[in-house]
Amino acid sequence: MQYEDNPNSIKFYVKRFVLSQADYFKNRTVLDFPAGNGITSRILREIGAKPLPMDLFPEYFEIPDLDCVRANIREGLPLEKGLMDSIICQEGIEHFSDQFSALKEFNRVLKKDGTLLITTPNYSNLRAKLSYLLSESERFNSIMPPNEMDSIWMSDKNITDEIYFGHIFLIGIQKLRVLAALTGFEIKKIHFTRIKTTSLFLLPFFYPFILVSNWITYRKNMRKNKDFDQQTKKKIYGEIFRLSIDPKILIDGHLMVEFVKICEADEVSAKLKSAHKEFGLT
């Protein structure tokens, strides 16, 4: 069975998303990064989009008549500013050592109101939370914590000096949300993929504690933070609270988040306020 037809593979859900948005993608330029073996680029081309595949290791790209360009996100993408209509970053961000800079780079090459789809193993589901509690690993009783033996997925000096890390930089919904917000994106929609049975089993036991704990934290910070007006606090803290208690996120096997670019990254940084007014300097 091909990956895109296997419900256990994230490619199945990306394919379903792309096909459901065929009218949107038609005739639009879409960056597929990292492109991997090229399945998503092939599907984009079949629906009339203009895919631009890029990858750190384009040697593994398998789609005829499409050229996959070598690109290293740490060095910046070889693209002009505001060139892309959409970006699909599938199973990539958990490998990026500097996720903030990566999202800034995505913002740079994306047009205003362009979309960014990010998929990544869900570090916010209950199984992942329990795994981190027990051993700081991705999956307890199965996978060791990140280490220099298992977490180096590719290191070939004949191709590049760059190391392709494994899941060293797993990211949950809250960190992904704030990094996106700091780089000019907002969440458009979170797409549910498939249930993790362990997380579903844990949900009835842990959900009451998750709900009460996050509600207390939300209310406390609504009262405590005096630097922002109530409307701003309600918008930001409210979104964080809803993400924290969302049962779908707590049981989903993958995060599949669709963002929209609302402004340039430097516009966000210009409006930020310092939480720490003093640093003990005389």
Residue-wise pLDDT tens digits, 228-266: 899 999 999 999 999 999 999 999 999 999 999 999 999
CATH number (domain holding residue 74): 3.40.50.150
| Domain interval for residue 181 | 3-196+252-265
Is 201 domain-assigned?
no
Closest CA relative to residue 11, chosen from 22, 20, 2: 2
Is 244 domain-assigned?
no
Is 231 domain-assigned?
no
Q: How many helices (H) and strands (E) does the chain have?
A: 10, 9
Is 171 domain-assigned?
yes
CA atoms within 13 A on the CB side of 205: 8
Residue-wise pLDDT tens digits, 77-97: 999 999 999 999 999 999 999
Supply the pLDDT for residue 156: 76
Buried b (16+ CB within 10 A) or exposed e, 243-272: bbbeeebbbbbbbbbbbbbeebbeebeeee
Is 115 domain-assigned?
yes
Is 214 domain-assigned?
no
Number of domains in the chain: 1
Whether the predicted model's global pTM rises above the 0.75 cut: yes
DSSP classification of residue 30: E
Cα separation of the two ends of the chain: 66
Is 135 domain-assigned?
yes
Residue-wise pLDDT tens digits, 132-169: 999 999 988 899 999 999 998 888 777 777 788 889 99
Which residue type does 148 have? E
Between the CA atoms of 161, 84, 95 and 210, what dihedral angle is there, to the nearest 10 degrees? 160
Residue-wise pLDDT tens digits, 215-227: 999 999 999 988 8
Tokens of 142: 């199965």
Q: What is the mean pLDDT of the chain?
A: 93
Which residue type does 124 have? S
Residue-wise pLDDT tens digits, 17-36: 999 999 999 999 999 999 99
Tokens of 189: 């929609």
